[in-house]
Every structure is written in C-alpha cells, then in structure tokens.
Structure 1
C-alpha cells in the first residue's frame, strides 16, 4: 500500500471505533447506575468482539490491523510492509485508541462522576490483573496474543493463498476475527482482562491519565508495561511461527 495517509486514516478510525465500543461495554457493566450494570464478563467478551467487528468493517482499506501486535506479527511473518508503513500503522492505532477512550468517557460522563470506586473507572480504560504477578501476567498476554495473531494470519492465508498480506486479512471479513476475540476473552481473558493489543491498553490509559475524571485515582503505570510488552512478544512469535507451522496444519 503506497498511500500512507489512507493507512493512517483507516487505522485511526477503525481503532477509535474499536476502543469506543470496547471500553463502552466495560463502562456499561462496571459503572454506577448503568442499565447494563453487573452484566458480567461474558457480556464484556461479546461487546469487545462486536467492537472488533465494527472496527475491522470500516478499516478494510488498510487491512484492518487495529493492533500493533498484528502489524508486528505480520512483519515477522514476512508481509511486505515498509518501516514507514509500520510506523504509520502503530501511530494511527495509538491515536485512534486515545480518541475512542475519550469519546467513551464523554458518553458515560455522569456515570463516571457517580461511580465511587476508582478501580472501576480505570478498568473501563485499561486492563489489570486478577492476581498481580507481573511475570505470569506477561506470559498470559503473550499466550493470548499469540493465539490472536497466529489465527488472524491463518485467516489471511485462507484469503490470500500466497502470503498473509493486509488484503488477505480483510478478504474473509470481520466476523471470524470478532468471534476469535470473543473466544480468547472467554477462554484466556480471566487472569489479565486480555489486552492482546498494546494500543488498546496504552491509548486509553493515557486518556485516563489526562482526562479530568472525578475521583479517578492512579493510572497504574507500574503494570502498564505488561499489556504492551506481552502482546508485542506474542504477536512477533506468532508471526515467526506462522511460516513453518501454518502450512503443516492448514
């Protein structure tokens, strides 16, 4: 893809929509006086899956990465991406995630004001572990993101038999990726809240830090490296493994 502006806009809009709807379902379940209060983790899983569906649907022109771990995984798999394209993808994803989180806060402003628990407010924006153990939390994120990127590359190869190009990733549509995210959340999301996307966690965490949220407390920067480093490592391993493994299993 030669049009860097098209990549940037496509990834920015898609990631913003992804995070708006994804953080929105968490806000609906977690914040005070919402109609969805107490909807449970499975509702969150489905909400994030549908958020992915929406984001991918509007971002076909860039291949709908919406996730630095996917971009870096594709690069590791041998996809034809230049350094400039990778940088534009990741910058747009981070900025889009920040914008989506800000819009979520605007939509739920009164509920953020009424929510007494600072941890619930942070949980709308970014992930946190059920049991804080940085090493194990990191491993969980590596595993979850490996599944995401390995299977996404498999989808891409099904759409483009020669290589997992961005066009190949978009060929089968948004639904398989959305269902994959629901499955990862339901199966592997419990320990860490399954960031599986550095932009999805870092962009909203920055938004939480800078927004004037009443009683927001800390942004938990001590944990913030886990949902960045874990997905990056998992995505790159998946990209490297896809070359020798996918032809054997597909």
Structure 2
C-alpha cells in the first residue's frame, strides 16, 4: 500500500472509532439525550464497540487506529505494520497523520449528530468532556503514570493477540478496551490513544460548542484545557513504546 492508501484507511477507521466514542460520551453527558446519565460502563462499551467497528474499516492497514499502537509495533522491531506494509518513515507518518485527522473528523460528525443537545447544554465542562479526557484528581505526573500504565497494557495485549491464533481479532481488541476503561479508566478517563484525545480536542477548539455555556472565560473563549493536553498524548506514546520493547521479551 502507498502513503495515500495507508492514510485513508487509518483515517476512516479512526473516524469510526471517534464518532462512536465521542458519540457515546455525548449521549451520557449532554442534556436531554436518551442515554443521559447512562454511566461509566455505557461509555466503556461505547468506546470498545467503536474500536470493534474501526478495526474492521481499517483492516487493510491492520486497524491500528492509535499512534501508541503504531509506535509500539515500531519499537518491537517488527518488519511490517501489517501484511505488505513495511515499517518505514513514510508509512509511519501516514499512519499517524491518518489517525489524528480521522479522530478530528469523527468528532465533528459526532457533534453534528448531537448539535441540538450541545446547544441545550449549559455546562462547558461537560462539553469539553465529550471530546477530550481529563483527570478526576489533577496531578500531571500521576496522571501521566496512569496513562502510561493503561496504554502499556493495551499495546502489549494487542501485540500478543497478533501473535496468537485466537481468531477473535477486532472483538478481542474491543473487549480489551472495555476492560481497561472499567479497571484503569477512573483517574484520567483512559485516553490510551493520542489521536483519540488530540483530534477531538482540536475539533472542540474550532466548533461553536461554547454557545450558551456558563463557564467560558471573560473574553468568551472556550477552555480547551491545553495545560493538560500533553498528558493523553505523551503518556500513551511512552506506554506504547515500552510495551513494544517488552513484547520482544514476552513473545
């Protein structure tokens, strides 16, 4: 596959992931939705099933959907990212760019689906929470550690799934994401994917979601919490890279 094909495959797959993932959070958090206050497990399952659909859409490129997975495979010393796709600088860039853009576009489509509910919601913090992760107790160092641990488990198990002939494929990855959310998602909302957080956070920055919100700042600008945004980007990248290295010893 060439650069454009890899980019398109990962963008479409990650777009499906973000659409369903951002969509389930919107359904639980925003005012007057059918799923309002549906709880943490509904969010976990929504993101897990988003992975399930996204991996199938991006099957040609192995359905990474996540820069941490791509970096994990790179750090494992693998020769290919997926059958017929070599580990090269150009291919790596195609994966990463496709993932971030796909997440950005998927979040925008989710916004369109919930447009009237965003308009009805007064709490700007909930609106940001639909798009991006945030800590329950803000401690950048420990939030970073949480994201490293959760992503390490994600990538290590995904590499292991690829090494074992279970035949479960996307279903195994989906259930893994549900499990990580239920077990390790409490402190930070388990980004475990730089594209999943950065793409939708950028979408939140450009979309008119601040209208009618009570807690915009004095100039009327939205709070995108850029001070925290490095944690769900660097934490998963470090966790993924560590998992790739450990996989060379474990598998």
Does 2:31 match 1:26? no
Note the alpha carbon deviations across 1:136-167, whole angstroms, 9 max, x for none: 0000000000000000000111149xxxxxxx
The aligned residue for residue 36 of structure 2 is 37
What is the RMSD of the two structures over their aligned residues, measured on CA atoms?
1.2
Distance in structure 2 (CA, Å) of the matches to 1:62 and 1:154: 18
Question: How many aligned positions are there?
Answer: 235
Structure 2, unaligned runs of 5 or more: 80-86, 217-221
Residue in 1 that maps onto 2:59: 60
2-side partners of 1:23 and 1:50: how far apart? 12
Unmatched tracts of structure 1, length 5 or more: 161-170
The equivalent position to 1:198 in structure 2, one of 194, 197, 214, is 194
Moved more, 2-11 or 146-155: 2-11
Superposed displacement of residue 135, structure 1: 0.4
1:228 correspondence with 2:233: yes
CA drift of 1:212 comes to 1.4
**Following TM superposition, by how much is the alpha carbon of 1:172 offset from its aligned partner in structure 2, in angstroms?**
4.1
The aligned counterpart of 1:113 is: 119
8 A contact 2:48–2:177 mirrored in 1: yes
Aligned to 2:248: 243
From 120, 128, 132, the equivalent of 2:138 is 132
What residue number does 1:181 align with? 177
Q: Secondary structure at the match of 2:187?
A: coil
- Secondary structure, aligned partner of 2:164: helix
Q: Please, what TM-score do these two structures have when normalized by structure 1?
A: 0.92
